[in-house]
Every structure is written in structure tokens, then in C-alpha cells.
């Protein structure tokens, strides 16, 4: 059986969707899951925009949210 990687960002499209996803992650209090969700949101919103808004290096952001 052939499988494909699961990409959560395909299922979350609106800001409300991401809010629900982040709330779920925060409720678990699992730092790895929270970081994973933040990475999903950051990639979906655009790392370039995030790096400009936060004044953080884009490469550093990618490494921080590496899967």
C-alpha cells in the first residue's frame, strides 16, 4: 500500500481554523506539539512575512520550526 505524507496545512485554511488548531496544541501543554503547530501556521502564513514582522532571520525561523 502506498501512502503519502500528511500535511495538516491543507485542511486548515482560515484564521479561525488556525486559532482552533493552536488552542488545541496549547491545551495539551506538549511543547513539541505546540512547536509543530506554530511551524504549520508560520509556513502557511509565510516565513518571509513572519521574519519581517518579527525582525528574525528567515533561516532561523525555518530551523526553529523544522519538522
Q: Which parts of the chain sit beneath pLDDT 70? A: 67
pLDDT at site 25: 95
pLDDT at site 20: 94
Tell me whether residue 7 is in a domain: no
Tell me whether residue 19 is in a domain: yes
Tell me whether residue 33 is in a domain: yes
What's this model's pTM, rounded to 2 decimal places?
A: 0.71
Tally of domains within the chain: 1
pLDDT at site 6: 81
- Distance of alpha carbon 49 from alpha carbon 28, whole angstroms: 28
Note down the domain range covering 29.
15-64
Amino acid at each position: 500500500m502506498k501512502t503519502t505524507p500528511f500535511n495538516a496545512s491543507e485542511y486548515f485554511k482560515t484564521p479561525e481554523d488556525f486559532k482552533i488548531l493552536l488552542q488545541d496544541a496549547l491545551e495539551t501543554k506538549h511543547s513539541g506539539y505546540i512547536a509543530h503547530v506554530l511551524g504549520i501556521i508560520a509556513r502557511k502564513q509565510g516565513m518571509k512575512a513572519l521574519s519581517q514582522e518579527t525582525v528574525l532571520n528567515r533561516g532561523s525561523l525555518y530551523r526553529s520550526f523544522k519538522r
